[in-house]
Amino acid sequence: MELLLILVPAVLVVLAVSFLIFHRAVGFGQLNSAAQRERMTARALEGLMRNFAVAENTIYRNNIKLNNMANKLQLSNNQLARLNNMKSKFLSMVVHDVRTPLSVIRGFSDLFARDPSANDKQRTMSKHMGSAVDRLNRLVSDLTDLAMIESGKLKIEPAVFNFCEVVDELMPAIEISAQTKGVVLKYDQIGRDAVIDGDKFRISQVLQNLMANAIKFTPGGGLVELKTRNDKCWIYVYVKDSGIGIHPSETRKIFEKFYQAEYQKDDKLTKLGWGLGLSIALEIISLHKGEIAAESRGLGHGSTFWFKLPIQPMAEQ
């Protein structure tokens, strides 16, 4: 916008000069006297010279402004690059410094839980300690992925596999999580014709995140469903829940880093996530040239998260 405002005066001057030339040319043809033509020519040339001088001066001043703006923009870009580099280094340091003590704490928690001399209260405390360590470990893993994304180092390691393998490997743990929460879990039998050339670990990470979120934000007695379908080019994966839902205006925002949806601002729900999982899922699906999105009719109406991935043509399987 600033560039447009700077160029407008110069453009107006050029248009004025062009109009003057046209106007003088028309009037010139109507003069019969050579003397009149000569006087008109002199005045026209004098006016043109003044207008060209004004235009040249305007262009010169605007060029200086443009150069100053370009220099400021370059300086800002350099500062942003330095800040981004510092942020990535900080994330890496945090991950490194936190991961080791967490492993030690988790080890002591497991030993304490298996101690035959521990009473019920001590075992309960040990269980809570282990759950807290697990949450922090998930945060550390998310921060690791975030640091890789920010530095452009998150890569996929493609290999050919069947999507049903991902579901078969994830479902036992997900079923236990649903049963613990009292959530009903349903999923279709996944066909064997959805062959993907992608990173199995990362795609599993996406599905696990969506399923965990669905169970987490669905109250006991609610329903979580996993469905898939595929055509000749894509496999579509749907995770539908009867949970608290999402406001339609937030279905895109929730894929932004650290974004907390309106329902998560409740004190009881804020502790359930840091707003990183979906942004990481978006990056993973994008690296696979796929698409991921969320749909909901609003708070209290549940939500559906879905993603699609390209599948191998039958001739290549």
Predicted pLDDT of residue 51: 74
The rounded distance, in Å, linking the Cα atoms of 61 and 46 is 23
Could you tell me which residue, 300 or 307, shows the higher pLDDT?
A: 307
Encode pLDDT of 231-242 as tens digits: 888 999 999 999
Encode pLDDT of 69-121 as tens digits: 888 888 887 887 777 777 767 767 776 677 777 777 777 777 777 778 878 78
Predicted pLDDT of residue 187: 87
Predicted pLDDT of residue 26: 46
Q: Please state the pTM of the whole predicted model.
A: 0.66
Residue 212: partners with Cβ closer than 8 Å, 6 or more residues away: 174, 177
Angle ∠(112,115,119) on CA atoms, nearest 5: 90
Which H/E stretch holds residue 227?
Answer: strand 223-230
What angle, 0 to 180 degrees and rounded to 10, lies between the N-to-C axes of helices 34-114 and 120-150? 150
Encode pLDDT of 159-217 as tens digits: 999 998 999 999 998 999 899 899 999 987 666 678 899 999 999 999 999 999 999 99
DSSP annotation of 255 reads G
Span of 48-62, 237-251, 264-278 with lowest mean pLDDT: 264-278
Q: Please check the confidence at residue 287 and state whether its pLDDT lies above 70.
A: yes
